[in-house]
């Protein structure tokens, strides 16, 4: 699936099953909540925190998909073509960071 197809898939779902988009501020708050859920799993699975009984059935892939879904909602609502945005962002990184990481002593 392309990013464009994902944006269309989410838009179709929102306009049928979801009825309508939540407003942008609500979706921003939901995005932060979903990112927090990913952070909780990462801290417990890869960091020093341990899982609580209530966290044992977590699904990192599903939580990341939730983040992506809400991010796509926000892109659709604000008229952002995520394919174009990502291409431009990578072009910027390739110019700005061309030698930055290679020359970073912390990464050697």
Q: Is residue 65 part of a domain?
A: yes
Q: Decide if 16 is inside a domain.
A: yes
To the nearest whole number, what is the mean pLDDT of the chain? 94
H or E element in which residue 94 lies: helix 82-96
Does 93 map to a domain? no
User: Could you tell me if residue 47 is inside a domain?
Assistant: yes
Q: What six digits make up the tokens of 75?
A: 């892109």
Residue 51 maps to which CATH number?
Answer: 1.10.287.1080
Return the higher-pLDDT residue of 108 and 71: 71
Whether pTM > 0.75 for this model: the answer is: yes
Longest dimension (CA), the chain: 52
Distance CA 14, CA 73 (A): 8
pLDDT at 51: 87
Quick: pLDDT tens for 13-61: 999 999 999 999 999 999 999 999 999 999 999 999 888 887 778 899 9
**Residue 22 lies inside a defined structural domain of this protein:** yes
Quick check: 89 pLDDT over 80? yes
**Tally of domains in the chain:** 1
């Amino acid at each position: 699936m392309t990013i464009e197809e994902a944006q269309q898939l989410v838009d179709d779902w929102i306009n049928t099953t979801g009825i309508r988009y939540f407003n942008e501020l609500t979706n921003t708050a939901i995005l932060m909540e979903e990112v927090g859920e990913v952070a909780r799993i990462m801290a417990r699975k890869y960091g020093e925190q341990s899982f609580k009984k209530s966290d044992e059935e977590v699904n990192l892939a599903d939580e990341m998909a939730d983040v992506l879904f809400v991010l796509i909602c926000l892109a659709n609502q604000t008229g952002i073509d995520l394919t174009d945005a990502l291409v431009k962002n990578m072009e910027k990184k390739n110019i700005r960071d061309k030698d930055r990481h290679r020359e970073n002593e912390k990464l050697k």
